[in-house]
A and B are shown apart, each in its own frame.
Chain A
Amino acid sequence: MAPLKINFDKGTLILQNVPKPLQAQLADTHWDERTLTFRAPAYRYRQIISQLRAHDIPYQDTARQFTLEPFTLQKTTRPYSYQTEAIDAWHANGKRGVVSLPTGAGKTLIAILLIAEMQRPTLVHVPTIDLMHQWYTVLTEHFGQAVGLYGGGYHELETLTVTTYQSAVMHAPYYGNRFGLAIFDECHHLPGEQYQYAALSSIAPFRLGLTATPERVDGKETRLYALLGECCYEARVHELSGKTLSEYRVVTIAVEMEDTERVQYEEARRVYLTFLKQAKINMGTPRGWHTFLWKASQTEEGRAAFKAYLTQKQLSFASTTKREWVWKLIQRHCGDRILIFTQDNDTAYQLGTRFFLPVLTHQTKLKERNAFLNGFRDGTYSILVTSKVLNEGVDVPEANVAIIVSGSGSVREHVQRLGRILRKREGKQAVLYELISKQTGEHFVNKRRRQHHAYQSSRHTPCAVKPK
Chain B
Amino acid sequence: MLTKNLLRYKIQNGRILPQFVNPADSQLLAIAEQLIAVFEAAPNKPRATLLETSKQIIDSTPGVPIVKRGLEKLLLDRTEFDTAPNEELIAFRQKLFTETSRLLSRETFPNYADYQLFVQAQFDEAELGTKLYADLPSCQPVLAFKTLSAERLLHRYNAAQVQGLLLHCNTLTLKLADSMTAELRQLFKYLRFHQLLCTIQRSGRHGDAPLQKQEKQNENLYRITVDGPLNLFYKTKRYGMNLANFFVALLHQPKWELTAELQFRNSQPYRLCLDESCGIKPISQQFLAYIPEDIQLFQAMLRNKTEAWDIRPGSQFLPLAGDFYCFPDYTLVHESGVSTAIELFHPWHQGHLIARLNTLAEQTCVPLILGVSKELEKKPFIAEALAASAYFSQFGFTFRDVPTMGSLLPILNSLVNQ
Interchain CB contact under 8 A, B93 and A368: yes
Interchain CB contact under 8 A, B237 and A193: yes
* Choice from B98, B104, B350 contacting A330 with Cβ under 8 Å: B104
Q: Which residues of A have CB within 8 Å of B381? A: 5, 7, 60, 62
Q: Which residues of B have CB within 8 Å of A127? A: none
Q: Does A451 contact B (CB under 8 A)?
A: no
Interface residues of B in 83-122 (CB under 8 A from A): 85, 90, 93-94, 96-98, 100-101, 104-109, 112, 115, 119
Interchain CB contact under 8 A, A327 and B112: yes
Q: Interface readout for A360-390 with B: 1 if CB under 8 Å, 0 if not?
A: 0001010110010001000111110000000
Q: How far is the CA of A5 from the CA of B322 in the complex (A)?
A: 22
What is the distance, in angstroms, from B406's C-beta to the closest C-beta of chain A? Answer: 29
Interface residues of A in 38-57 (CB under 8 A from B): 39-41
Interface residues of A in 15-68 (CB under 8 A from B): 16, 28, 30, 32-37, 39-41, 60, 62
Which one of A75-83, A351-359, A431-439 is at the B interface? Answer: A351-359
Q: Does A214 contact B (CB under 8 A)?
A: no
Q: Does A261 contact B (CB under 8 A)?
A: no
Q: Does B13 contact A (CB under 8 A)?
A: no
Q: Which residues of A have CB within 8 Å of B199? A: 33-34
| Residue among A9, A290, A356, A381 having the largest count of chain B Cβ atoms under 10 Å | A356
* Choice from A35, A353, A383 contacting B351 with Cβ under 8 Å: A35
Interchain CB contact under 8 A, B388 and A381: no
Interchain CB contact under 8 A, B355 and A10: no
Q: Which residues of A have CB within 8 Å of B119? A: 356
Place the interface of chain B in its size category: 35 or more
Interchain CB contact under 8 A, B100 and A365: no
Interchain CB contact under 8 A, B354 and A173: no
| Residue among B97, B115, B132, B208 having the largest count of chain A Cβ atoms under 10 Å | B97
Which one of B14-22, B30-38, B226-234 is at the A interface? Answer: B226-234
Interchain CB contact under 8 A, B351 and A335: no
* Choice from A37, A331, A335, A363 contacting B354 with Cβ under 8 Å: A37
Given that A2-B388, A327-B112 are contacting pairs, would A35 and B354 also be in contact in the complex, using a CB cutoff of 8 Å? yes
Q: How far is the CA of A420 from the CA of B112 in the complex (A)?
A: 27
Q: Which residues of B have CB within 8 Å of A371? A: 90, 94
Q: Does A286 contact B (CB under 8 A)?
A: yes
Nearest B residue to A286 by beta-carbon distance?
A: B266
* Choice from A2, A16, A367, A382 contacting B101 with Cβ under 8 Å: A382
Q: Which residues of B have CB within 8 Å of A359? A: 133
Interchain CB contact under 8 A, A34 and B198: yes
What is the distance, in angstroms, from B86's C-beta to the closest C-beta of chain A? Answer: 9
Q: How far is the CA of A12 from the CA of B195 in the complex (A)?
A: 13
Q: How far is the CA of A359 from the CA of B100 in the complex (A)?
A: 13
Interchain CB contact under 8 A, B359 and A36: yes
Q: Which residues of B have CB within 8 Å of A5? A: 381, 384
Nearest A residue to B228 by beta-carbon distance?
A: A10
Interchain CB contact under 8 A, B136 and A349: yes
* Choice from B93, B107, B136, B350 contacting A334 with Cβ under 8 Å: B107
Q: How far is the CA of A262 from the CA of B374 in the complex (A)?
A: 72
Q: Does A197 contact B (CB under 8 A)?
A: yes
Interchain CB contact under 8 A, B97 and A353: no
Q: Does A243 contact B (CB under 8 A)?
A: no
Interchain CB contact under 8 A, B104 and A37: no
What is the distance, in angstroms, from B380's C-beta to the closest C-beta of chain A? Answer: 5
Q: Which residues of B have CB within 8 Å of A331? A: 108-109
Q: How far is the CA of A16 from the CA of B237 in the complex (A)?
A: 27
Interchain CB contact under 8 A, A382 and B266: no
| Residue among A2, A35, A324 having the largest count of chain B Cβ atoms under 10 Å | A35
Q: Does B137 contact A (CB under 8 A)?
A: yes
Q: How far is the CA of A60 from the CA of B230 in the complex (A)?
A: 23
What is the distance, in angstroms, from B313's C-beta to the closest C-beta of chain A? Answer: 26
Q: Which residues of A have CB within 8 Å of B208? A: 33
What is the distance, in angstroms, from B8's C-beta to the closest C-beta of chain A? Answer: 9
Interface residues of B in 226-283 (CB under 8 A from A): 228-230, 232-233, 236-238, 264-267
Interchain CB contact under 8 A, B380 and A200: no
What is the distance, in angstroms, from B19's C-beta to the closest C-beta of chain A? Answer: 12
Q: Which residues of B have CB within 8 Å of A380? A: 97-98, 101
What is the distance, in angstroms, from B84's C-beta to the closest C-beta of chain A? Answer: 9
Q: How far is the CA of A353 from the CA of B129 in the complex (A)?
A: 8
Q: Which residues of B have CB within 8 Å of A7? A: 350, 354, 381
Q: Does A84 contact B (CB under 8 A)?
A: no
| Residue among A2, A193, A382, A383 having the largest count of chain B Cβ atoms under 10 Å | A382
Q: How far is the CA of A5 from the CA of B351 in the complex (A)?
A: 14
Q: Which residues of A have CB within 8 Å of B238? A: 194, 197
Q: How far is the CA of A57 from the CA of B137 in the complex (A)?
A: 59
Q: Which residues of B have CB within 8 Å of A327? A: 112
Q: Which residues of B have CB within 8 Å of A194? A: 238
- 21 sampled A-B residue pairs with Cβ under 8 A: A9-B229, A10-B229, A12-B229, A35-B197, A36-B322, A36-B355, A37-B354, A193-B237, A287-B266, A297-B5, A327-B112, A334-B105, A334-B107, A349-B136, A352-B132, A352-B133, A353-B133, A356-B119, A357-B100, A368-B90, A380-B97
* A binding-site residues for B, Cβ under 8 Å: 2, 5, 7, 9-12, 14, 16, 28, 30, 32-37, 39-41, 60, 62, 173, 193-194, 197, 200-201, 286-287, 290, 293, 297, 303, 324, 327, 330-331, 334-336, 349, 352-353, 355-359, 363, 365, 367-368, 371, 375, 379-383
Additional A-B contacts beyond A35-B351, A356-B119 (6; CB < 8 A): A9-B229, A30-B232, A36-B359, A336-B105, A353-B133, A356-B100
